[in-house]
Chain A
Amino acid sequence: MFLIDIVALLMVVIGLVFFVAGTLGLLRFTDDLTRLHALTKADNLGLGFVLLGMTLLFFNLLVMLKLLLIWVLVIISAATVSHVIGQRAYKQLLHRSESQDDHR
């Protein structure tokens, strides 16, 4: 019991570390695409660890399945949203370089 609690806590802490790192990247990176990178990668992993910790704590099949479902859904959403944001950021980038060309 005690061991599982410690492991679970460890998992959650690792997850939090990922979150912090991702957030740091979001704040510190220079352009949209790199920020996206930091955010999605870190968040998916962070959330995974947190959920893993939770799973260990509850250790109930139904709960585990639910948590897994949440993780999968979040990952799918994150991927889709990143796709959309990325496309937009890329278009803006193109647009900007074109207008710079015009000025030249």
Chain B
Amino acid sequence: MTVLLPGLVLLPLIAGGFAALFRQQGRWITLATGLGMLVMLVLLSIDAWGVGQYQGLWTLGGWERPLAIAWYLDDLAHLMLLLVGLVSLAIMAYAWFDTETSDHFWGLWLGGWGAMNALLLSSDLFNIYVTIELLGLVAVALVALSTKAGAAAAAMRYLIISLTGSMFFLLGVALIYGQYGRLDLIGLAEVVEHNWVTHLAWSIMLLGLLAKTAAWPLHGWLPLAHGRAPTAASALLSALVIKASFYLMWRFGVGPFAALSNELIAMLLALLGTMAIFWGSWRAWKTPLLKELIAWSTVAQIGYLLIGLAILFNPQSILTVSEQFNPSLLLFWLIAAHALTKAGLFLVAGNLILLTHSYQLKDQLAVLCNSPLTLWTLGLGSVALAGLPLTLGFIGKWWLIESSVALGQFWLLAPLILGGVFTLAYMGRLLQPAFEQRLLCQYAPKQSDGRPAECISERQLAWPLLAVPFILVLSVWVLALFPLYPWGATL
């Protein structure tokens, strides 16, 4: 094992430790770390996709598998590493210029980044528990960085849910150890059999992970936490952190516990997903707060991911994994599309809050009229979020549609297709007023000589604050043209 994989985990953890202790130097430490991480990710990708190294199992400490902790790198883990890295870098670039970024942010998220990388690589149940706890604590702290009223309560709620979810996960791990006496996922896949304890353990773990992902009936914490966190934190939490627990469900469901999946659980997940889409969209439509709108939209978008999970878990679904192309990997693009878009949207919301010092949707609208780039980011982002064709989300959705039809679950077409319309509807609340004549320069204060002063517009912000969200959102469109490139070059 060359140095890249440990480096991807160790560098942010060490740098994060230093950044947390020496806060004044935090942003410079972060800059250096970010560059280093970028180089390592590029090298990893070149090696993995060019030469074909790296893929597969790595055991740590020089011991054999059931005794040692194992890491496992495949296409999915690799793509997730890239996604986490690139989105983190983008959001950190934004935070660099955001005047309200706290000193604490750098060290905290570097730790979160390291935790996520460790989680993505890990192939050991208990090790995953440790990483998920680290990530959870960091995420809660990020929410609590906000000085906004109610942020502490939101963070507290998040912490309680997150910890409870972890405890469920831990209980599941205990039961699995009791039954099989091993913790490594690869080994478990060989020995897992149908019995009550295994089913119970898997259900309990799934329940915990669903709570951490904010799946429908357990979603209550998310709009509060993501809505009240500081801008960069909201973006990171919505884009990346909830994906970690989703990734685990995916990993476990098609890995060690693939034999346990049945149609009941698939149906249940699909129902949860459908409810999430409808309920999340409805609340996004009703809320008067900008960031809560975007956060509720995350709840709705998780619905798609759950439907994807339902399809993966359906024993009927034939996963036609050819040598070149595993179609279920298209679900990753749904994750990526949501991560990139949602990060962009939260950052735009942050811009608007910076400009107006208000969290109310109605106060933001006037700025939009005078801010074309912001408006474009929102517009492209809304369409991308709706998953219309030619965006990355559509690639993932297309797989959902094809699979649900192939499974005979025609009713899933309703949430899948209507969800996009709902998205446009609630995002339209932001977009439409930008065209309203009456709002133009409404906020312009009069100067002493009676002439209107300059309107509040995006021009008052540093350009990176505008560029980062725009690039994030634009990448969803550009990537949509090359969805197969990384691993499908032979296709």
A and B touch in the complex (CB under 8 A): no
